[in-house]
Structure 1
Amino acid sequence: MSLSPQWLDELRARVTLSGVIGRTTRLTKAGQEFKACCPFHNEKTPSFTVNDAKGFYHCFGCGAHGDAIRWMTDQRGLAFMDAVKELAAEAGLEVPAPDPRSAQRAEQQAGLHEVLAAAQAFYRTQLEANEGAKARSYLASRGFDAHTMERFGFGYAPGGRQALKAALAQFPEPMLIEAGMRIAAEGKDPYDRFRDRLTMPIHDARGRVIGFAARILDAAKTDAPKYLNSPDTPLFDKGRTLFNLHRAGPASRQSGRIVVVEGQMDVVALAAAGIEEAVAPMGTALTERQVEMLWRLVDTPILCFDGDAAGQRAATRAIARTLPLLRPGHSLRIVRLPAGMDPDDMLKRDGRQALETLLGQARSMVDVLWENEREALPLATPEDKAGLKARLMAHVDTIADKDIQSLYRRDLSERFSAFAYPRREFAPRQPGRPQGRGPFRATAPARSEPAVTGRLRHQAAGGSRDALLSAVIAGLIGFPDVLVKVADRLAGSPIADPRLDALIDAVDDHAHGAQPLESARLGTILAGRGLATPVPEDYAMMRFGFLAGDVPADQARAELAQAVGLLVERPALDAALAEATARFESDLSEGAFAEQQRLLQRKLEFDERLRHMASARAAAPSAAPNLTAE
């Protein structure tokens, strides 16, 4: 049976790797990963890690590495299809029925792999032949040693139009054309695609040749492209392929980074200098699919494009394509090389350490986005500046993740305000003379704290934080199933409360099968840590409907989840409002005032949502709570 790569990717995405491995191996949470003593070899200190976000496990001791399917075949001893069927049943996926066309396609692809492997062998022999002298001379001029040339499989495509066909006579003409090695032109005989060029094989993630990149050797041929890649074929898709990924992937697990450069020869130059974890897109802008492939290896790949205008445009396009994909913890970092230089130029002029220094100073996407848009057009007039803000907010609107979108909007708005409304130095106030204009006229005597500032500081402090927190804790004890669903969100929030920490630890123990997750057990855990369990009969807490016994369980769970959302949102909102208030005190600008008012409005809306949630039960304090989840 032939299963498509897309279906297998869907299967991997639907299963939680730590859940699969945790059934037979005890895992311990370690940051965003899990750790354990490796089940593939005997060890006393854990060196086996499981990363759900990236979908793989890895042992730094014995090198064991794989995904959920590999785990089932290697550790459980299942056959491949048995492993797939068991995981599919768990994920609720239906294994595709045998498809004769799929089997035929798989057989066809196997034949194309043979064609490309034979072509690579032919090109390698031609590099050592007399006709390959030009290619050997070019490689020598680049300073590549024999090990690098062997590792990257450089070859030479002869100049004859039928040279490859003659060498691969065992394959029929249609197969050579389908593999992208020959070109069929209407009214002409087919001819070799690559002629009189230095060749490099392009591999898939399994290290199989799926295409070629070829560089021109005759500089006088100005009408021909400098670099030429294989066309899209059943094996090769430019948008889903990264040059050198099969070598850079394992190297990235050792270094913790992956570097994306513009061209294949830049990849070779970095590898020759000892930077093994470099890849390149296939002559196109970095695609969404390629970004996802990179994120399976590292959380923040580094883009290191050329320092010319074309390189910076490529970086800008990559940012624009990545913004809609952003998710917590995953982004890009960008290096700007000196003007007119590519990575190879910098290595030759300044050495590896200089490039390493630049890579270590890679900037965030939001920094580069702000700088690129600020420098894109003149900003001499108010209309120009308004155009800058419109462009920035248009980028922000493309971000799908609402939390990241909100943070980008705030960050870029603050940068724009500081740029468009610079702080002004006011002259000393003269007695009896108004100073400033609009809402900032200084007509009243100076006071220790402006009235608006005191009011905003009071608003930012909030008035019911303890009641909401205690009510949420009581509700989570009563509904442990809701606690399991929101534990990760609470763990990632800035809320510091030992009762919440105890509940989150209980969820971790439950996930590892150490303790049952029941209301009585949760109360015992709090008591064991010397923490008091919130008393739902407290009138301040009884206002929340999810603690009342006469509310249906499903409704109570929904209201509890909403309360958790409010609880998590509040610290960030309070901090933003406090910061805006402090900025307003020190910088009496229109921008600071506008930002403060916007946050104040959000705070008022938040308080209204909280009052609405509590008001439904405010008049019924006698209702008896039910802390047992149904």
Structure 2
Amino acid sequence: MRLPDSFLDDLRSRLSLSHVVGKKVVWDMRKTNQARGDWWAPCPFHQEKSASFHVLDDKGYYYCFGCQAKGNVFKFVQETENVSFIEAVEILAREAGMPMPARDPKAAERSDRRTELAKVTEEATRWFRLQLSTGAASDARAYLDRRGLNAATLDTFEIGFAPKTSDALLTALEGKGISWDLIEGAGLALTDDDGRRRDRFINRIIFPIRDPRGRVIGFGGRAMNPNSPAKYLNSPETELFDKGANLYNLRSARAAAGKGAPLVVAEGYMDVITLHQAGFESCVAPLGTAVTERQLQMMWKVTPEPLIALDGDAAGQKAGLRVADLALPLIAAGQSLRFAILPEGMDPDDLIRAKGRGAMQSVLDGARPMLSLLWSRETEDKVFDSPERRAMLDQSLRALLGKIADSSLRRHYGQEVARLRADLFGLPRDAPMAPLPDPVPDMPPDPGPPPEDAPRAYVQKAPARRPWVPKGQFRGRASLPQPAATATRASPLAQGTLSPDTLLEQVGLAGLVLHPGLIDDFAEALEGMTWSRDDHERIAGALLRLPDGLDRPGAFEELSRSLGEETLDYLLAQPQIRISPVARPGADQEHARPCIHDAFTRLAARRGADRERVEAMEDFADGADEAMTWRLAQATQRKEAARKTAQQNEGTSEDGDAADKDYLQGLLDTRVWEKSRNK
């Protein structure tokens, strides 16, 4: 079966080589330069401890300096999975979510047609280039000269000209024996309503568009007639050209980004060309449409954090927000966007010609994180002088956080939003921000609507929420988003204190460090937990990344390598861990399982109850009444139900389970986390 070149190209564009190889190796981050797509690891094809296996994402190529293994993404899958080329393509297609081409005898014919169309576009490119030097293009040359483009830039971007004659290109191509079918199929000519054939581009400056393989797949044309209904005109969708799946100048930008240059995303052709001439060679632009999801993925394959250069007007701001909204569900650790806001009324071309390269560099250096742009949209030019308006902001922020698919990133966004909200309202940094809770393990179902005998105030419509400054036991719950500074101040090294949630987290994590065979059983809890401390989050992440089948010594060695021995030593040296059932001499997985399970279940119950209490206090902030009492009672009942459910579901021995429960309850009852006020 012959696979179309276009299908293989599309597959390469969707899956980076480092992503595929990363499933088989452990990257050496000391040698790796992720921003440049330059990756190193011990070779998967021979036994070694040093990192001699080299992957270059921009070239889609790997090479081992030890055993000389080399190839592309298809060769790698063939060698590591011991499969044929077609089977390797099928594996990668499933990974990318792409259906395999049907076993169509005409597939080769279609592939050949695309090859012929590419020859036609190359011929047209040469013809357009020649026209720029003719007398008919004098106005076009003068325009390009006014825009400050030099001869080297014109050659680099192969800028050409389409004359005023309506069928000049058509006549030239047919004179070379090229059929009308191919000329039309390449998007270079069309048939008018009266049946007359003519060129698509007339009296326009022409910008050829090349794909990552270097083929000319389409053209953009800038009108010389100021009265033209379309200032810029692009090729139509063809067998070669898909506007939403390509970026202008991507091939050149990818090479420059591989040398360390940041990827700049501008609005149009002239912006890219001016940026490139000014020394910003890693720059691209969408092709006459809004940025698409496919284009975002292409940008992220070049660099983890592209810079979106926004024109300094209302339209530019709106375009940036559309990109941010599109990207929000797709962002992940190390994969986001930054936004460079230009002075009002200027685009990159205007700024560079008016103030020079340094002014543009300053704008790029001051690029804002994506959250900053989104926060400005939610708060700028708005007044929050009433509980209703503040509640509306909270609702918008919850919806914003809910779009983020990555749970860890959503948690960090929640912490930053909580900080910004506290600053906006003049509240303490640890005030709750109507949190978007992460999934928690083994939570009993919501009690549902209140019973008929519930207080009347509860079943009536609740008053609008307003921001509430928590006091006493409601301050600083770990289930609420916390800013990084708060987490630092809460460190036991800084204050000598441990919260009850922190104690339970340490018991669960220590149990999995000492009994790595149980990690799969608690993977959901590790992924969904809101950790009270950054080091706990790092330990949880390292546990999830451990290879399957490691025994305790092997797991400890791997964790020490990724976390540092001091992190594990500190965790396991805690007094509550040394006396825990998970660390007792002779304790095996079956002894440790119920204790770990109970620790995570108690965390879930505590945090669920905390959220219920916080919401009740917010809803009835005007004073205690029967409704609030009923809701708080429900929270307490749910907490107790969670503990009972855990015991029933675990199926362990009553004696062992009771001992574990007594141990954990003892930690909480003795209130060892509280700092004595008498000292």
CA contact (8 A) 1:536 1:547 kept: no
Q: Deviations over 1:402-434 (max 9, x none)?
A: 3333443453354335434668xxxxxxxxxxx
CA contact (8 A) 1:469 1:567 kept: no
Residue of structure 2 in register with 1:473 after alignment: 513
Q: Note the 1:484-523 alignment, pairs <5 A.
A: 496=535, 517-519=550-552
Paired with 1:184 and 1:503, the residues of 2 have a C-alpha distance of 62
CA contact (8 A) 2:212 2:250 kept: yes
Paired with 2:74 and 2:172, the residues of 1 have a C-alpha distance of 40
Q: Does 1:334 align with 2:339?
A: yes
CA contact (8 A) 2:63 2:70 kept: yes
Paired with 1:364 and 1:245, the residues of 2 have a C-alpha distance of 23
Counterpart residue type for residue 621 of structure 1: G
Paired with 1:564 and 1:20, the residues of 2 have a C-alpha distance of 37
Aligned residue-pair number: 561
Q: CA deviation at 1:294?
A: 0.6
Stretches of structure 2 lacking an aligned partner (at least 5 in a row): 45-49, 429-465, 479-489, 491-496, 615-620, 623-630, 661-679
CA contact (8 A) 1:460 1:603 kept: no
Q: Deviations over 1:143-168 (max 9, x none)?
A: 11111110000000011111111000
CA contact (8 A) 1:542 1:618 kept: no
What TM-score results when the alignment is normalised by the length of structure 1? 0.71
Paired with 1:422 and 1:520, the residues of 2 have a C-alpha distance of 48
Correspondent of 2:366 among 361, 385, 400: 361
Residue of structure 2 in register with 1:408 after alignment: 413
CA contact (8 A) 1:502 1:525 kept: no
Q: Deviations over 1:70-92 (max 9, x none)?
A: 6579xx799xx954534646987
Q: CA deviation at 1:186?
A: 2.8
CA contact (8 A) 2:513 2:555 kept: no
Q: CA deviation at 1:547?
A: 5.6
Residue of structure 2 in register with 1:264 after alignment: 269
**Larger displacement relative to structure 2 (104-113 or 9-18):** 9-18
Correspondent of 1:187 among 178, 194, 205: 194
Q: Does 1:123 align with 2:128?
A: yes
Cα distance change, pair 321–217 in 1 and its aligned pair in 2 (3 A): same
Q: Does 1:196 align with 2:236?
A: no
Residue of structure 2 in register with 1:226 after alignment: 231
What TM-score results when the alignment is normalised by the length of structure 2? 0.66
Q: CA deviation at 1:232?
A: 1.2
- Secondary structure class of the residue paired with 1:254: coil
Paired with 1:484 and 1:384, the residues of 2 have a C-alpha distance of 40
CA contact (8 A) 2:514 2:552 kept: no
Paired with 1:350 and 1:65, the residues of 2 have a C-alpha distance of 48
Paired with 1:136 and 1:303, the residues of 2 have a C-alpha distance of 30
Paired with 1:157 and 1:163, the residues of 2 have a C-alpha distance of 8
Residue of structure 2 in register with 1:274 after alignment: 279
Paired with 2:476 and 2:23, the residues of 1 have a C-alpha distance of 53
Cα distance change, pair 306–38 in 1 and its aligned pair in 2 (3 A): farther
- Secondary structure class of the residue paired with 1:324: coil
Paired with 1:68 and 1:115, the residues of 2 have a C-alpha distance of 30
CA contact (8 A) 2:28 2:51 kept: no
- Secondary structure class of the residue paired with 1:231: coil
Q: Does 1:311 align with 2:316?
A: yes
Q: Does 1:110 align with 2:115?
A: yes
Q: CA deviation at 1:470?
A: 3.0
Q: Does 1:28 align with 2:28?
A: yes
Q: Deviations over 1:206-232 (max 9, x none)?
A: 11101111111233x2x4211111111
Counterpart residue type for residue 232 of structure 2: Y
Paired with 1:602 and 1:56, the residues of 2 have a C-alpha distance of 55
Q: CA deviation at 1:332?
A: 0.7
Paired with 1:89 and 1:202, the residues of 2 have a C-alpha distance of 31
Residue of structure 2 in register with 1:427 after alignment: none
CA contact (8 A) 1:69 1:84 kept: no
CA contact (8 A) 1:302 1:332 kept: yes
Q: Does 1:248 align with 2:253?
A: yes
CA contact (8 A) 2:407 2:528 kept: no
Cα distance change, pair 98–150 in 1 and its aligned pair in 2 (3 A): same
Q: Deviations over 1:569-598 (max 9, x none)?
A: 99xx89x99xx9xxxxxxxxx89xxxxxx9
- Secondary structure class of the residue paired with 2:344: coil
Correspondent of 1:300 among 301, 305, 309: 305
CA contact (8 A) 2:160 2:207 kept: yes
- Secondary structure class of the residue paired with 2:515: helix
Cα distance change, pair 188–207 in 1 and its aligned pair in 2 (3 A): same
Correspondent of 2:169 among 158, 164, 167: 164
- Secondary structure class of the residue paired with 1:214: strand
Cα distance change, pair 269–48 in 1 and its aligned pair in 2 (3 A): farther
Paired with 1:103 and 1:236, the residues of 2 have a C-alpha distance of 19
Residue of structure 2 in register with 1:85 after alignment: 87
Cα distance change, pair 172–293 in 1 and its aligned pair in 2 (3 A): same
CA contact (8 A) 2:311 2:346 kept: yes
Q: Deviations over 1:9-36 (max 9, x none)?
A: 568878985775897x996354796525
Correspondent of 1:142 among 130, 139, 147: 147
Paired with 1:548 and 1:618, the residues of 2 have a C-alpha distance of 14
Counterpart residue type for residue 120 of structure 2: V
CA contact (8 A) 2:311 2:341 kept: yes
- Secondary structure class of the residue paired with 1:255: coil
Q: Does 1:175 align with 2:171?
A: no
CA contact (8 A) 2:504 2:600 kept: no
CA contact (8 A) 1:479 1:519 kept: no
Q: CA deviation at 1:373?
A: 2.6
Q: CA deviation at 1:330?
A: 1.1
Cα distance change, pair 190–8 in 1 and its aligned pair in 2 (3 A): closer
Cα distance change, pair 253–450 in 1 and its aligned pair in 2 (3 A): same
CA contact (8 A) 2:131 2:160 kept: yes
Q: CA deviation at 1:263?
A: 0.8
Q: CA deviation at 1:236?
A: 0.9
Residue of structure 1 in register with 2:656 after alignment: 621
Cα distance change, pair 305–541 in 1 and its aligned pair in 2 (3 A): same
Q: Deviations over 1:261-290 (max 9, x none)?
A: 111100000000010000001121111111
CA contact (8 A) 1:259 1:277 kept: yes
CA contact (8 A) 2:276 2:283 kept: yes
Paired with 1:440 and 1:161, the residues of 2 have a C-alpha distance of 70
Counterpart residue type for residue 471 of structure 1: G
- Secondary structure class of the residue paired with 2:287: coil
**Larger displacement relative to structure 2 (173-182 or 311-320):** 173-182
CA contact (8 A) 1:126 1:158 kept: yes
Residue of structure 1 in register with 2:329 after alignment: 324
CA contact (8 A) 2:515 2:589 kept: no
Paired with 1:484 and 1:366, the residues of 2 have a C-alpha distance of 29
Q: Deviations over 1:285-316 (max 9, x none)?
A: 11111111111111111100210111111101
Q: CA deviation at 1:481?
A: 7.1
Q: CA deviation at 1:56?
A: 5.0
Q: Does 1:352 align with 2:349?
A: no
- Secondary structure class of the residue paired with 1:305: strand
Q: CA deviation at 1:349?
A: 2.1
- Secondary structure class of the residue paired with 1:128: coil
**Larger displacement relative to structure 2 (12-21 or 1-10):** 12-21
Counterpart residue type for residue 398 of structure 2: M
RMSD: 5.7
Correspondent of 1:205 among 197, 209, 212: 212
Q: CA deviation at 1:364?
A: 0.8
Q: CA deviation at 1:199?
A: 0.4
Cα distance change, pair 495–418 in 1 and its aligned pair in 2 (3 A): closer
- Secondary structure class of the residue paired with 2:404: coil
Counterpart residue type for residue 159 of structure 2: F
